[in-house]
Chains A and B, each alone.
Chain A
């Protein structure tokens, strides 16, 4: 059924349709509306057969999910930013134990300086934690990915993060085609665990493993994610057959077939990128884009196939590997190793800075003319940075950088965008 609904509400409804049995909730902006909605559904008994547990931290939220999942329940939680870092140890643990928990990340920057706005540094910080990471481009895809994630997680016994850009998607009202309970029931069977804490057949879960077996256990985690590389497109195809729309999969190429310049990005920014691609195509520029839906496992082969004609790649990424530059682009370079095509890193949208069509257009045109640096910070205020660097060099006690910059900028309340 078509609905005009807030992204968080849509995600909550999708999660509820998947019949979760234990939901652990701890609030953190911008994910909070999701668990609030789910809590209300449980309290009002619209969502039955589900325990909703208000915990005391994100660390506890995922830990409760771990216990519940190991006892055979379909477990769900959601978090963002500092919350994801606070549960980091449990993030690795859930995947190490092979527990198919589904977790929504309302993508948000990581401090310091504290910042509640969107970027994708949080998910990136956990990219090697053994979870599958799927990035939604729209709220429709966020809904669809959650439904696919439950199936994917449980088939492989691997936890899945569905990454949804904070505010830009979580707080956006847009139209979503909400599936029916019958449709979701037909797609997501009941959970059949590979391992379960059951007095009838006692098992030890989480035993200590020494050097004699640790590599093998870790390899099998990698093996399961490699399996996801074929299962993800297979589920997307099945999803399309049953729900009548394409959603999910590994990558979404857009006007890429004959593109000489190809833009790669994750999440909601792909919408703006597509608009700019269309504008540049109208101007005769051979440009296209690829939205990477599955960041873990990384779809190297699918990406190679999508960019076969490209002379250069521009990766727009909402995260920063301090000391080297790009995170997504490092993986893109690895996927294209030997192809001899330049991969440009454009760090954009950090801490919620708007990624505008105008700025993207400028950077794409520059790339197309082979004038773009390997590492660019989109819309960086160079003058402000230079003044602070001068201050750092001229005074020993130069003070907190963040405060200096804010003083430099003056009032920001009157700015648009």
Chain B
């Protein structure tokens, strides 16, 4: 289900009114049949983007599989805040093994389901950016290469939040973390080469790759639903702001996710078999400052003096994304 052609959002908020839609078109979360896979009562922080993303993603996967779903989870915030008794929140069969092996564990689950003839039951693997782009990268690539029947979801909050906000390979340049402090002549994270895991997933030419954000949860649901309609290795990379790690207000989680996409810093797209098939166009392009200035991890770019040269480098990253993924051409707004 695509929602981009239905334009009845409230001006300025992009909030879609579910009540205006026919029941079939309503979001999974708005239905009474939603499964609350990640139930209330867990111990995530206020405004946690990962909890929000996981809830939408897994509920959508549940609906897509008629509730025949198993999840494998990497070590990380999602695992920690959702499992200790009595806050155990998973209403689905769920396994946590290690930090770096989630894709492989999911491969094992899929293999067992296949050999047992339980083809209607599907498996989702999920982890944060650390468990996906760093320590779990080998297993992830192996799962892609074998085209195992696994949907892997990365909840990217751009650092190791569970251990106290340390840099990961998904941390953006200049961002302050505990291991890339805002000290010295070039404060914050380095301008490295970056590590675009969705593009790396595409290089494996797996059947389906998508990026999404918690600013557009209907798009997220649609992508999970699409992913579950396909067999083989699939990858969805979701940007999930983290108030604790980003130094942002809990109420800004969704806004920050939207600013990340509207600035071009986080392109939202879909790809099949290694080729981009669709992208979310930017509706109202915003300068990167609007996104950066809401987060304390970038505070050193603005105080004690404004570092326009550094901000310009970040703007260049966003502009390159816009060019590369065609985020502004052919817009129908």
Contact = CB atoms under 8 A, between A and B. Distances in A.
B94 A202 contact: yes
Interface in A202-255: 202-210
A208 B80 contact: yes
B27 interface: no
A90 B83 contact: no
B108 interface: yes
B91 interface: yes
A111 interface: no
Interface stretch (B111-119, B201-209, B216-224): B111-119
Given A57-B142, A197-B93, A206-B95, A64 B114 contact: no
Chain A interface size, as a band, is 35 or more
Contact of B142 (A60, A97, A196): A60
A73 B105 CA distance: 13
B83 A64 contact: no
B108 A64 contact: yes
Nearest to B91: A202
A63 B98 contact: yes
Contact of B107 (A64, A73, A89, A201): A64
Nearest to A87: B101
Nearest to A94: B97
Given A67-B112, A73-B111, A207-B84, A60 B97 contact: no
A256 B235 CA distance: 62
Contacts of A201: 93
Interface in B113-141: 113-116, 121, 138-139, 141
Given A64-B104, A73-B115, A89 B93 contact: no
B116 A54 contact: no
Contacts of A55: 104, 107, 142
A114 to B, nearest CB: 21
B80 A73 contact: no
B146 interface: yes
Contact of B96 (A24, A89, A90, A206): A206
A93 interface: yes
B90 interface: yes
Interface residues of B, number: 43
Nearest to A23: B111
Given A54-B146, A56-B141, A67 B80 contact: no
B218 to A, nearest CB: 25
B116 A72 contact: yes
A5 to B, nearest CB: 27
A115 B80 CA distance: 40
A53 interface: yes
B67 A68 contact: no
A134 interface: no
Nearest to B92: A202
A260 interface: no
A162 interface: no
Interface of B: 67-70, 72-73, 79-80, 83-85, 88, 90-98, 100-101, 104-116, 121, 138-139, 141-142, 145-146
17 contacts: A21-B116, A55-B104, A57-B138, A66-B105, A66-B108, A67-B72, A68-B108, A69-B112, A70-B105, A70-B108, A72-B116, A197-B95, A198-B93, A204-B88, A205-B96, A206-B96, A207-B96
